[in-house]
Amino acid sequence: MTTQPPLAGLDSDPSNPQRPSGDSSTSNLENSPTLTPCPPAFPDGGLEAWLQVLGGFCILFNSWGVTTTMGVYQSYYRSSLLADVPQSSTAWIQSIQIACIFYGGTLSGRFFDKGYLNVLVVGGSILTFTCYMVLAECTEYWHVLLCQGLGMGLGMGATFAPSMACVSQYFSKKRGLAIGICSAGAGVAGIVLPIMANNLLPSDKIGFAATTRALAGVYAGMAIIAICILRYRKHPAQESKLLQMFDVATKLQRLINRSREPKTEPVCPNDHDLEIGESSETPDSPATEKAVINVGAEKKSCDSNAPHVKKESKFTIIDLATLKNPVYVLFVIATSLAFLVLYIPYYYLQQFSIDHGMSEQVIRYTVTVLCAGATIGRVGPAVMADYLGKFNILVFVSMINGILLFCWMHLDKLALPGGTQKRDQFSSHENIDSRDAQVIVFAFFYGFFSGALGTFPPFVLPSLAPSMDKVGVCLGQAFLCLGTVSLVANPIAGFIIGKEGRYHVVAPYCGAVMMAACLLYVITRVNVGGWKFGRV
């Protein structure tokens, strides 16, 4: 029979009334104030955990979901508002927006680790909403670049990384499902928002300004939901005062606890700070009142009176210790290559349909079909990854994405001669339907597999962090690299396409880069699990 080791700091000196011996310690525990047991490593469920998933869903709706409307805005800018601006120049709008989301994630990940979750979510949401309203009044290229590119990108970047890190604190075994549901928010937005924009933007409808304000209203509604429910699971002593304004239930509970016990509310230390059988006692805190809980065969203790002592660490964007992990470095490099080309079809496929004389229905709903496929792709493969292994699924979806990008080159050969010709009454009805169907099929399947691939960075990166308090910096460093490649991705593609519409050149370029990323994912997978087939 295994005996429990004595708690550190307790002795059997009968002369010290503060430190009773024998069974008296048990009675002292019974008479002590209400004790707060250490939380389990990961809840992996429960109302509070799934509410964080809902909050993450709303944030992804308001960040990556908003970026899906850029394909619609690109077509509008090219035909109306910014008709005199080259396509390679307008491509900088979305590139800066996506890059700022990642760059914002680099900083916000570190602020999340410091305890400023709601400051980031509230501040980022206000900034994005303000830029939306200002965008409605823009008339020049540089106006749009600053508002829609820089301002909205920074605002969305402030909310994206913290929400994913927050959800990761609540799930381990079901993390793939949780992140997949969150990522589906971007897919749902990709269905709803482009339909709104396509049907409202034309001048014979409500026009550019009113459409942008309507999209801002949708954004505000989703942001309010996220602000009210996102919260930390650990380190409540680090939560900002702004969080207490919205977290009414926690605020009332703390008032009740204070009325019962005037002493500082006990807070459990981080799970990573205690070893089995080790005490969280500090030199200045009494050691008489402790709670011991069992997690399986493990014994952990937490001081019921000692306040949480926050470890001060230097604020840095780059953590060199995490860069010593070869799996983490390989994964970031591979993902950077993949993101260099992953979202190019999202930005150019609608313009591709216009340039090649597709029907109006195909043109209007190309982005919607892409995002409908992405919605399914963000959930299905992520759930499968919990059972088959995240690196196995990652290699598979990256390979399929590469094949589909090469198929885009074949799709270009089916276009009308001359590229921008319109259909006429002598066109073959079968050929028209065949071309339209192939564009729709390509859009759906590419949306499915690209959505799956886009889900994996926030899913895999937390598992590569050395500890929970390093999740934010691991996400931030990766987003710094992803932001850099995203900044140049669309302008490079726009330069290749040019005025001549060289889609037959940009397609193999995208396919080759994606296959290179797939090869690096294979190397990463081998580093993790070897060549033996199994769940990795």
Query: What local confidence, expressed as pLDDT, does residue 255 receive?
Result: 54
Confidence of residue 494 (pLDDT cuts 50, 70, 90): confident
Q: Quick one: tokens of 356?
A: 């090649």
| 31-35, 178-182, 188-192, 371-375: the lowest-pLDDT one | 31-35
Query: What local confidence, expressed as pLDDT, does residue 61 receive?
Result: 93
pTM of the full structure: 0.67
Q: Does the pLDDT value for residue 428 go beyond 70?
A: no
Query: What local confidence, expressed as pLDDT, does residue 425 receive?
Result: 31
Mean pLDDT for the chain overall: 74
pLDDT digits (tens, 9 = 90+) for 163-183: 888 888 888 777 778 888 888
| 218-222, 417-421, 444-448: the lowest-pLDDT one | 417-421
Most confident of 48-52, 122-126, 433-437, 484-488: 122-126
Query: What local confidence, expressed as pLDDT, does residue 256 receive?
Result: 52
| 289-298, 311-320, 428-437: the lowest-pLDDT one | 289-298
Percent of the chain with pLDDT over 70: 71
Q: In 169-294, where does DSSP find H-type helix?
A: 175-200, 207-229, 241-246, 248-260
Mean pLDDT, residues 48-71:
88
Query: What local confidence, expressed as pLDDT, does residue 358 receive?
Result: 76
- Comparing 455 with 485, the larger pLDDT belongs to 485
- Is there a contact between 121 and 165 (Cβ–Cβ < 8 Å)? no
Phi, psi of 284, deg, nearest 5: -95, 5
Give 527-536's long-range contacts (Cβ < 8 A, gap of 24+): 527/326, 527/327, 527/330, 528/327, 528/391, 529/389, 529/391, 534/389, 535/387, 535/388, 535/389, 535/392, 536/389, 536/390, 536/391, 536/392
Which 8-state DSSP code applies to residue 236?
G
Q: Does the pLDDT value for residue 303 go beyond 60?
A: no
- Comparing 104 with 535, the larger pLDDT belongs to 104
Confidence of residue 536 (pLDDT cuts 50, 70, 90): low
Confidence of residue 114 (pLDDT cuts 50, 70, 90): confident
Which 8-state DSSP code applies to residue 35?
P
Query: What local confidence, expressed as pLDDT, does residue 512 receive?
Result: 94
Mean pLDDT, residues 129-150:
91
Task: Give the whole-angstrom CA distance, residue 366 versus residue 304.
Answer: 59
Most confident of 245-249, 432-436, 520-524: 520-524
| 24-38, 339-353, 499-513: the lowest-pLDDT one | 24-38
The residue ranges of every structural domain in the chain are: 47-235+314-529, 239-303
Mean pLDDT, residues 183-209:
84
Q: Does the pLDDT value for residue 283 go beyond 50?
A: no
Mean pLDDT, residues 440-451:
91
Tokens 């680090």 belong to 238
* Other beta carbons less than 10 A from residue 256's beta carbon: 8
Tokens 């005062």 belong to 241
| 40-49, 119-128, 411-420, 478-487: the lowest-pLDDT one | 411-420
- Comparing 298 with 155, the larger pLDDT belongs to 155
Query: What local confidence, expressed as pLDDT, does residue 216 receive?
Result: 93
Query: What local confidence, expressed as pLDDT, does residue 339 receive?
Result: 92
What is the distance of C-alpha 302 from the center of its chain? 33
Mean pLDDT, residues 261-265:
51
Task: Give the whole-angstrom CA distance, residue 476 versus residue 458.
Answer: 10
Query: What local confidence, expressed as pLDDT, does residue 480 receive?
Result: 85
| 89-98, 128-137, 425-434, 485-494: the lowest-pLDDT one | 425-434
| 40-44, 109-113, 147-151, 450-454: the lowest-pLDDT one | 40-44
CATH of region 47-235+314-529, choose from 2.60.40.10, 1.20.140.90, 1.20.1250.20, 3.40.50.300: 1.20.1250.20
Confidence of residue 41 (pLDDT cuts 50, 70, 90): low
DSSP bridge partners of 291 = 302
Q: Does the pLDDT value for residue 532 go beyond 90?
A: no
- Is there a contact between 60 and 455 (Cβ–Cβ < 8 Å)? no
